[in-house]
Amino acid sequence: MPLFKKIGGKIMIIALPTKTSGEKSFISEQFGRCNFFYIYDTETETGEVYINANKDGQGGVGVKSSEFILKKGANILIAPRVGEKSMRILKSTDLKIYKSTDKIVKENIASFLNGELKEL
Amino acid sequence: MQIAVLSGKGGTGKTLLSVNLSYLADNATYVDCDVEEPNGLLYYKLKEKQTEDVKIKIPVINHEECIGCEKCTNFCKFNALAYILDKVRVFKDLCHSCGGCKLVCPTGAISEVDKVVGYVHSGSMFDTKIYSGEMIVGVESGVPIIDNLLKKVEDSDRLVFVDSPPGNGCSVMESIKDADYCLLIAEPTIFGLHNLNMVYKLAKVFDKKIGLVINKYTDNNMINNYAKENNIKIVGTIPMDLELGKLNSEGEIVASNSKYKPIFNDILKTIKKELVL
Amino acid sequence: MKQLLILSGKGGTGKTTLASSFIELSKAKAFADCDVEAPNLHLVTKSENKKSTPYYGMAKAYINQDACKKCGLCKKNCRFDAIEFDGKYTINPFKCEGCSVCELVCPENAIEMQNHIDGETTIYRDNYIFSTAELNMGSGNSGKLVMEVKENLKKNLTNQELAIIDGSPGIGCPVIASLSGVDMVLVVTEPSVSGMSDMKRIIKTAEHFRVKIAVCINKYDTNHDQNQKIEKHVKDSNIELVGRIPYDKNINKLLNQGLLAISEESPTADSIKKIYLRTIDILNS
């Protein structure tokens, strides 16, 4: 059972940049240019996979990734690192960023819910 | 008459050559287009200089008028606009100043303001006119500054030496597009040869008249052989000379020294002959 | 994986000479050349087994002459002077930045954005992975190509500890792209007024990225006074000077024979080895 499901009384929506699609994927090292996003809803305990349509942009891909996950309602991001611009955008919102481990999506979500991940 | 001094590889002596030739030529103009790392003014130490801002237009959003249709964020090819927390936000560093967002906005919520991306310094020394561009650190593209510099000398009846940026990217194209003559400079090393080949092809695309100077010339003939194979005129050589290197590294105009003046004078004469001046 | 990026601001100070020596010394299994406008590292590594892929930059505008009614709105709205008119309207691909404003304003839908090959990326596989690329003449977009070089390196890695990246000159878009995600920058400068000026600008650029920075001075003995000034500036900026490389005219001869700066014993080779050891210490600290 997850230890906590809500953040500030709100449902938690967790976003993760991934290399392949699905909960068994590894986390992408790049936030802006990842192949997919995995968006997990802690209330329904279900995840959805989205293709990152902006990954091949010339520049500003982090901006577009930030915009995308915020539109999906994410308030948690689990990633190894994010770029300077993305950091600036995301820090200006309620979203919190946690540093991912080198394990797969499922295990990262579990670690987060157990309070084992560090905030970036 | 405009001469673009080019090298492909950095640090081969573009600034050395263009500064010294413009110094020796009567009533010449020196333009430093290496706006990312401008060094011309380290040699032409201007006592008095004018500085002009180079600006581009970037959008500002009037959030009262914005209806959140996201036409602008979807239009922008540079990802400089994003819809975040019900507001359009502008990322200035990414903006290329195309003006598209303003055109697509259905409510007129976008207007434009100036953003300074760099400077053009100008002045004169001896009988040389000097223009030098400088890009602000952190700005990604120097093209607007190079454009501004080249506009200044567009119809000049002086002999203009353009100190181009290294490489073969868009900034270099800008600086040779309007040139009458491409003066290439290369060192006799495998790197120098490789990059000479690259910049030679570039000059050929524009069908420009080409001359070549070999810098740090030693007993190695690899550049001479390349020039022979491709029928490139060698207009001069600058010897490998530690003292010349030292003077240059101090920011001295080496052609002001009687020992080195003939080297650059010979190059200048040959170029003038090539240009039928 | 730790990434070390070698930069200089000013060109020709010895980035590639140093990078190639570092690769040999570290037995690095992963390296990249981010100088996509004038790549040189492949000249030293001499790898054979390569695979190249075309690189598509920004789509550029193309005018369909049959549909064009010559109203001139495209030219009027283009801020890059990329549309030329001599009886008919055409796009100058070297100036087109791909913003698609012309496509937007054209009342006849005569303009289309078309993909454009701007260069190629290459992966060499030996007992190492070497990622490089070359931009076509006059193409913009070098920042994105640099990202691709770095991505290609990462994609093909399994568990390498160290990646060495040869950077490009300048401080603009390709340099900024090469900086993102690296752990440390080693700046190579030389004792001259230009070396000093360019070093200051590259350090300022790198500081935006909050990476570890160290400096080394190549040909430090060719100008004593300028060398002192650079050393003082580095010290005052609280940046570590990891070493000084003496001038040696034999180095170019070695490189021209396809060898490395450290292939023969010399004070220069010794200094590069020392710089290497100190740099790796800082990188891993």
The predicted-structure confidence for B245-271, as pLDDT tens digits, reads as follows 999 999 999 999 999 999 999 999 999
Question: Do the Cβ atoms of B233 and B274 come closer than 8 Å?
Answer: yes
Question: Do the Cβ atoms of B101 and B72 come closer than 8 Å?
Answer: yes
Residue to test with chain A: of B84, B87, B139, most A Cβ within 10 A:
B84
Tens-digit pLDDT profile for residues B158-183: 999 999 887 766 778 877 888 999 99
Tens-digit pLDDT profile for residues C207-229: 888 899 999 999 999 999 999 99
Kindly state the average pLDDT of the residues C64-91: 95
Residue type for position B9 = K
User: The pTM is what?
Assistant: 0.85
Please provide residue A118's backbone torsions phi and psi, each rounded to the nearest 5 degrees.
-95, 145
Decide if A66 touches B, using CB distance below 8 A: yes
Q: Name the pLDDT band for A4 (thresholds 50, 70, 90).
A: low
Q: Which residues of chain B have a CB within 8 Å of the CB of A54? A: 79
Tens-digit pLDDT profile for residues B86-140: 899 999 888 999 999 999 999 999 999 999 999 999 999 999 999 999 999 888 7
Kindly state the average pLDDT of the residues C65-75: 97
Nearest to C154 among A29, A57, A58 (CB): A29
Q: What is the dihedral of CA B97, B50, B35, C225, to 10 degrees?
A: -150
Q: What does the pLDDT read at residue A1?
A: 38
Which residues are registered as beta bridge partners of A14?
A: A40, A76
CA–CA distance, B192 with B12 (Å, rounded to integer): 8
> Count of CB atoms within 10 A of residue C25's CB?
17
For the cut 80, the answer to whether the pLDDT of residue A12 exceeds it is yes
**Averaged pLDDT of chain B:** 92
CA–CA distance, B123 with B145 (Å, rounded to integer): 17
Burial of A10 (0-12, 13-18, 19+ CB in 10 A): exposed
Is the CB of B79 less than 8 angstroms away from the CB of A60? yes
Q: What does the pLDDT read at residue A9?
A: 62
Nearest to B84 among A58, A60, A70 (CB): A70
Residue type for position B41 = L
Question: Do the Cβ atoms of C225 and B250 come closer than 8 Å?
Answer: yes
Q: Name the pLDDT band for A65 (thresholds 50, 70, 90).
A: very high
Q: Name the pLDDT band for C46 (thresholds 50, 70, 90).
A: confident
Residue linked to tokens 């982090």: A62
**DSSP assignment letter at B254:** G
Is the CB of B94 less than 8 angstroms away from the CB of A63? yes
Q: How many CA atoms lie within 13 A of C5 on its CB side?
A: 29
Q: What does the pLDDT read at residue B241?
A: 92
Is the CB of A89 less than 8 angstroms away from the CB of B89? yes
> Count of CB atoms within 10 A of residue C27's CB?
9
Q: Enumerate domains of chain B plus CATH numbers.
A: 2-54+118-275 (3.40.50.300), 63-108 (3.30.70.20)
Q: What does the pLDDT read at residue C142?
A: 80
For the cut 90, the answer to whether the pLDDT of residue C155 exceeds it is no
Q: What does the pLDDT read at residue A76?
A: 95
- ipTM for the whole complex: 0.84
Is the CB of B83 less than 8 angstroms away from the CB of A60? no
Tens-digit pLDDT profile for residues A30-45: 899 899 999 999 989 9
Touching chains, B (3+ CB pairs < 8 A): A, C
**Averaged pLDDT of chain C:** 92
- The shortest C-alpha distance from B81 to chain A (Å) reads 8
Tens-digit pLDDT profile for residues B188-208: 999 899 889 988 988 888 888
Q: What does the pLDDT read at residue A3?
A: 47
Q: Cα–Cα distances in Å, from C108 out to A51, B74, B105, C80?
A: 34, 22, 20, 21
Distance of CA C98 to the CA centre of its chain: 23
Question: Do the Cβ atoms of B149 and B33 come closer than 8 Å?
Answer: yes
